[in-house]
């Protein structure tokens, strides 16, 4: 039995791997590689993450197009 240090959820990763989860944000890059914002994440897979974003959604993201338009936040 394992427990999540972030939320305390107890799960058996062999019997019920779907409960195995990560609290980081999964970032999908243009080349379809995956990267998690949680440095402790060892399996950057779609099913383990609740929040999944495209790297272009990150301000200053690594996959920003050359002709991208900078959008300022409303004040």
**Number of C-beta neighbours around residue 28 at 10 A:** 18
- Taking residues 3-27, what's their average pLDDT? 74
Tell me if residue 66 falls in helix, strand or coil.
coil
- Taking residues 67-75, what's their average pLDDT? 46
- Taking residues 12-17, what's their average pLDDT? 62
pLDDT category at 6 given cuts 50, 70, 90 is confident
Domain residues of the chain, as ranges?
Answer: 24-63
C-alpha span between 56 and 29 (Å, rounded): 8
Q: Does the pLDDT value for residue 16 go beyond 60?
A: yes
For 13, residues 6+ apart whose C-beta sits below 8 A from its C-beta are 2, 19, 20
Tell me if residue 72 falls in helix, strand or coil.
coil
């Amino acid at each position: 039995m394992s427990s999540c240090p972030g939320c305390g959820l107890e799960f058996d990763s062999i019997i019920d791997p779907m409960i195995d989860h990560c609290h980081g944000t999964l970032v999908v890059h243009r080349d379809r590689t995956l990267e998690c914002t949680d440095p402790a994440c060892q399996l950057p897979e779609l099913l383990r993450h609740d929040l999944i974003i495209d790297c272009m959604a990150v301000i200053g993201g690594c996959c920003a197009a050359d002709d991208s338009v900078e959008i300022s936040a409303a004040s």
